């Protein structure tokens, strides 16, 4: 049972790390979209203002500079999301590995822990990409198109040129997203690594008695039940999580 508690604690730790990484990516994109919306709103107000605050030549320079700065922020955001996707895939592989090892080491019925579907065969197609990276890529392509059109194409009927400029910027970002997302999968298929089995060796243990307030114990039971863990496994998870953080701080000094 100790092996199962250890695997459950590690599974819970990496699952929470996975969701924190997902939330971090959403916050990055939301920040970029908010800044972009604010800058575009300011540009619209500046251009449509009946009172000429600046000459037309200066307004054009201000608009191009604002769009260019936003585009640079968008490129940095795109790179960060690509990195975030890579970390997400690593967490997914670790979680799948821990789940498989838990099933192998489970002392009870193993069938109840298996997924009701084969997730390894579900591969998203090219047209099902979506995601935050594509959202940022679309925004960057619109910004790049707007800058080029303002600089060299003053004709409002140049929709064909604008479309070509958009695709010229958008398609490379899509290929970068696909290559970065499938790079690790492709390497693992071309160079398959041998499968390892997790060997859990027993360590010396000592029984410790704790006095816990009744209301705290009831709260622990509720949290443990919501996570499908025992109270003992939950306590081990809390201790291991905080212990890793403190040891990391000591090692960095």
Would the pTM count as exceeding 0.75?
no
| Cα–Cα distance for residue pair 78/176, rounded to 1 Å | 10
| Cα–Cα distance for residue pair 147/160, rounded to 1 Å | 15
Q: Given this model, what pLDDT does residue 203 score?
A: 63
For 28-58, give one letter per residue: b (16+ CB within 10 A) or e.
bbeebbeebeebbeebeeeeeeeeeeeeeee
Please choose, from the candidates 56, 67, 87, 227, the residue with its C-alpha nearest in 3D space to the C-alpha of residue 142.
Answer: 67
Q: Given this model, what pLDDT does residue 129 score?
A: 54
| Cα–Cα distance for residue pair 145/107, rounded to 1 Å | 60
Backbone phi, then psi, for 98, in 5-degree steps?
Answer: -65, -35
Q: Given this model, what pLDDT does residue 192 score?
A: 44
Cβ atoms within 10 A of the Cβ of 147, count? 19
Taking residues 129-156, report their average pLDDT.
81
* The two structure tokens encoding residue 217: 């114990």
Taking residues 219-228, report their average pLDDT.
82
Q: Given this model, what pLDDT does residue 132 score?
A: 86
Helix (H, G, I), strand (E, B) or coil at 131: helix
Burial tier of 203 (Cβ tally within 10 Å: 0-12, 13-18, 19+): exposed
Residue 70 has pLDDT above 80, yes or no: yes
Taking residues 25-34, report their average pLDDT.
92
Q: Given this model, what pLDDT does residue 71 score?
A: 93
* The two structure tokens encoding residue 220: 């622990």
Distances (CA, A) of 213 to 216, 219, 220, 236, 239: 5, 10, 11, 18, 18
CA angle 190, 194, 195 (to 5 degrees): 120
Task: 119-126: list long-range contacts, CB under 8 Å, 24+ apart.
Answer: 126/178
Residue 103 has pLDDT above 80, yes or no: no
| Cα–Cα distance for residue pair 70/101, rounded to 1 Å | 46
Residues 14 and 95 sit within 8 Å (Cβ to Cβ): yes
Residue 143 has pLDDT above 60, yes or no: yes
Taking residues 187-203, report their average pLDDT.
51
């Amino acid at each position: 049972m100790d092996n199962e508690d250890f695997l459950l604690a590690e599974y819970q730790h990496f699952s929470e790390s996975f969701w924190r990484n997902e939330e971090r990516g959403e916050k990055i994109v939301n920040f970029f979209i908010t800044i972009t919306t604010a800058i575009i709103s300011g540009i619209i107000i500046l251009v449509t203002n009946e009172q000429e605050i600046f000459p037309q030549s200066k307004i054009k320079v201000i608009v191009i500079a604002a769009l260019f700065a936003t585009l640079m922020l968008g490129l940095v955001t795109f790179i960060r999301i690509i990195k975030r996707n890579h970390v997400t895939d690593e967490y997914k592989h670790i979680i799948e590995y821990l789940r498989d090892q838990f099933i192998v080491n489970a002392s009870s019925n193993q069938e109840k822990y298996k997924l009701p579907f084969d997730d390894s065969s579900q591969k998203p197609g090219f047209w099902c990409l979506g995601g935050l990276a594509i959202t940022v890529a679309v925004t960057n392509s619109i910004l790049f198109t707007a800058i080029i059109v303002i600089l060299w194409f003053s004709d409002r009927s140049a929709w064909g040129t604008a479309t070509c400029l958009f695709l010229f910027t958008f398609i490379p970002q899509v290929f970068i997203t696909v290559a970065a997302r499938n790079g690790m999968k492709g390497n693992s298929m071309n160079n398959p690594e041998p499968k390892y089995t997790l060997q859990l060796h027993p360590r010396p243990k000592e029984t410790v008695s704790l006095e816990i307030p009744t209301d705290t114990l009831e709260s622990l039971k509720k949290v443990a039940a919501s996570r499908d863990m025992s109270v003992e496994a939950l306590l081990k998870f809390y201790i291991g999580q905080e212990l890793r953080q403190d040891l990391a701080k000591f090692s960095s000094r």
